[in-house]
Amino acid sequence: MPFLGQDWRSPGWSWIKTEDGWKRFEFFGDDLERNDNDLDLEELHDENKENLFSGEVCEVAAKKRKKDHFNNNTKSQFFYQEKWIYVQKESTRERHGYCTLGEAFNRLDFSSAIQDIRRFNYVVKLLQLIAKSQLTSLSGAAQKNYFNVLEKIVRKVLDDQQNPRLIKDLLQDLGSTLCILIREVGKSVLVGNINIWVCRLETILNWQQQLNNLQIPKQITNGITLSDLPLHMQNNILYKFSDGWDIINLGQVTSTLHMLSEDRQLWKKLCQFHFAEKHFCRHLILSEKGHVDWKLMYFTLQKYYPKKEQYGDTLQFCRHCSILFWKDSGHPCTANDPGNCFMPVSPQHFIDLFKF
């Protein structure tokens, strides 16, 4: 059917449902109808003909001002009612086009996800992977959402003083990528003005400085502390850690925790959790006493092999519907047994879904 509207490039008219059917919504409908009834050919050449269309001109101008104000002043993510997205990689008879990484980043609610402690590490890792390899594939709106989410993460870390090391690594990778892209401008594809990217790089350097100056005050409490727990309970807590740097940092709190953090069995379990047995033979490191130095082995192996990722909550992908979604928000699944169709999506898998 033909397109009916102000312009073939415009979104068309606004319509409202009434008892008599659908009617076009106009801000100055009464004035326009009154002017239309009195309109004749002589009035088209009258010197006051601008007043006849003042209502429509004001409506278009108001829309433009509202759009410009939103684009220039918005500091939040573009929100959608549905927190899921259909992942389409090719055109079919029913659907045309494909889904991009930027569109998925816009549709999925990452701004709210960072407030959930189960999803915080997942979102940070995803942003880090995008910063390393997929930054140039983001559209202008997706870039805006990316840096808005990043700003919220930095503000959250500065306020609650938790997970600063993760954010420092993210900003380091993002800053390195931006330096390369800005230096090689013309050779690489950067969506947006070069001055915007320079300002973003300056903002990242400012965030890094704030995180480096972050001082965590000593907690003063009259209740029970970690040092008051029995020795075996402190040891069990250390065995729950999946990152070597967290164990080292906790070992600097007290002399007792330092002794527990140097346990060879603890580092052996950590190596066995992240790496395969065949990797041990290739990078076997012995101490002066002839024993395997599992602590040094752990930091050596992570340079050659990826560590096992562990997250409290991840995005889910429905194999039946080809929909990406958060588990608690769900999606309109049409499968008979939806539970068997869901699979967790790692940050790298999320990136791979949009590589065509």
pLDDT in tens, 78-90: 445 677 888 876 6
CA distances, 135 to each of 25, 41, 224, 301 (Å): 41, 57, 46, 28
Residues 164 and 126 in one domain: yes
Higher pLDDT: 47 or 155? It is: 155
Q: Does residue 74 lie in a domain region?
A: no
Q: Does residue 147 lie in a domain region?
A: yes
Residues 119 and 200 in one domain: yes
DSSP-derived secondary structure letter, 131: I
Residues 249 and 208 in one domain: no
Residues 207 and 268 in one domain: no
pLDDT of residue 75: 47
Query: CA-to-CA distance for 66 and 74, rounded, in angstroms?
Result: 11
Structural domain span for residue 283: 243-304
β-strands 84-86, 15-18: how paired? Answer: unpaired
Q: Looking at 80-89, 225-234, 250-259, which range is the least confident one?
A: 80-89
Query: CA-to-CA distance for 261 and 251, rounded, in angstroms?
Result: 5
Are 296 and 288 within 8 A, CB to CB?
Answer: no
Q: Does residue 314 lie in a domain region?
A: no
Residues 181 and 252 in one domain: no
Q: Does residue 228 lie in a domain region?
A: no
Sign of the C-alpha dihedral computed for residues 86, 91, 93 and 95 taken in this order: positive
Q: Does residue 116 lie in a domain region?
A: yes
Are 301 and 271 within 8 A, CB to CB?
Answer: yes
- For the chain, count helices (H), then strands (E): 16, 6
- Confidence check: pLDDT of 157 > 80: yes
pLDDT of residue 124: 93
Query: CA-to-CA distance for 50 and 54, rounded, in angstroms?
Result: 6
- Confidence check: pLDDT of 32 > 50: no
Indicate the average pLDDT of the chain.
78
pLDDT of residue 169: 92
Query: CA-to-CA distance for 127 and 134, rounded, in angstroms?
Result: 10
Beta strands in 125-177 (DSSP E): none
Pull the structure tokens for residue 256. Answer: 């007792």
Residues 114 and 167 in one domain: yes
pLDDT of residue 20: 74
Displacement of CA 210 from its chain's centroid (Å): 22
- Confidence check: pLDDT of 3 > 80: no
Q: Does residue 266 lie in a domain region?
A: yes
- Confidence check: pLDDT of 24 > 80: no
Give the pLDDT band of residue 127 (cuts 50, 70, 90): very high
Residues 248 and 192 in one domain: no
Structural domain count of the chain: 2
Q: Does residue 325 lie in a domain region?
A: no
Across residues 216-236, what is the average pLDDT? 83
pLDDT of residue 123: 92
Residues 286 and 191 in one domain: no
